[in-house]
Every structure is written in structure tokens, then in C-alpha cells.
């Protein structure tokens, strides 16, 4: 638990200093794991405020994402995790509604190493994500995401776990 608190403090300080210069977006997500455990995620995002490869088709951009996820379970198997990841987004140029694809690799810290029948091996995990959705004028978006957690073989066992979620993001 001390690792989780330390990770949360570093993430909060980092985002707090950056947030002073840029507005943050907030995200809420509801999902399920491959074993049907419900997940609930709250996140804060800060755009890179840069874009690359702009064409008439679209552009590459991205954001930093910090999140808290609650992994629902019975009294002995619920879990909590914190994560931080850079996420790259390809946003298609189509007017006021813009489809997008996203991908990112970050880090996560779990409160304990067991979720359902999966033994993560360590509290430290890598977070790989892929997603797609729609961005609307006014700074809102809705999308689907698949996120996989694994310690990349740093410590055995390394069962890993994924969550598939529907998310909503709003700019403030």
C-alpha cells in the first residue's frame, strides 16, 4: 500500500505542476475484464498541445493520462491501481465529429498482486492500451478501450490481466 501512496503522490505533484499551465480533461470509464470482473476508472488527461503529420486526412497528437481504477471483487479479491501513460492519438479530419484511434504504453501500480485467478507477480505493471472513439466539438469524447497489464516477465508469475471499457471524456 505504501508503494501505491508514493506513486499517487508523484503523479499528483507531476500533474499539478503541469496543470497550472494547461487545462485538464477528466474521464470516467466502466469496463469488464476477460473474466467478467467490473472495473471503474477515473482519469485526468493533459494534451501534448502538439501535432505531427497533419494532412487533409488527419493528424497525430496525444496526451498524458493519469488514472485510478477500482477492480470490483468480493471482499478478498477487489483491487485498486494507479497508472500514468503517454497516449498517442490519430485524429481524422471530418468536421465537428472526429473519429480517432489511440495507443499508449505506460506504468501502473496495483495495491496487491492478485485479481480474480490471476497472479500479477508484482505490484508494478506496464499498461498497454488501444482504443477508438469519437471526439465532438466542445471538448467531449466517447470511446472504447482495451487495456492490458503485465510486468513483462520482470517477476514470475506474470499472468497479466486486461480490461475492456467504455469511456467518456470532457474538457474543463
Residues tagged active-site: 148, 150, 162
DSSP β-bridge partners for residue 169:
27, 141
Work out the number of other CB atoms within 10 angstroms of the CB of residue 37. 19
Residue 157: cis peptide before it, omega within 30 degrees of 0: yes
Amino acid at each position: 500500500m505504501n508503494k501505491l501512496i508514493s506513486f499517487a503522490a508523484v503523479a499528483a505533484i507531476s500533474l499539478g505542476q503541469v496543470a497550472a499551465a494547461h487545462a485538464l480533461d477528466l474521464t470516467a470509464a466502466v469496463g469488464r475484464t476477460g473474466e467478467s470482473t467490473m472495473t471503474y476508472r477515473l482519469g485526468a488527461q493533459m494534451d501534448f498541445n502538439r501535432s505531427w503529420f497533419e494532412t487533409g486526412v488527419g493528424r497525430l497528437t496525444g496526451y498524458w493520462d493519469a488514472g485510478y481504477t477500482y477492480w470490483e471483487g468480493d471482499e478478498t479479491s477487489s483491487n485498486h491501481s494507479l497508472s500514468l501513460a503517454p497516449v498517442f492519438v490519430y485524429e481524422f479530419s471530418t468536421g465537428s465529429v472526429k473519429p480517432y484511434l489511440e495507443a499508449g504504453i505506460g506504468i501502473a501500480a496495483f495495491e496487491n498482486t492478485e485479481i480474480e485467478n490471476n497472479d500479477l507477480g508484482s505490484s508494478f505493471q506496464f499498461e498497454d492500451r488501444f482504443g477508438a472513439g469519437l471526439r465532438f466539438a466542445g471538448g467531449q469524447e466517447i470511446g472504447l478501450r482495451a487495456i492490458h497489464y503485465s510486468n513483462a516477465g520482470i517477476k514470475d508469475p506474470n499472468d497479466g490481466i486486461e480490461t475492456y471499457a467504455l469511456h467518456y471524456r470532457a474538457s474543463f
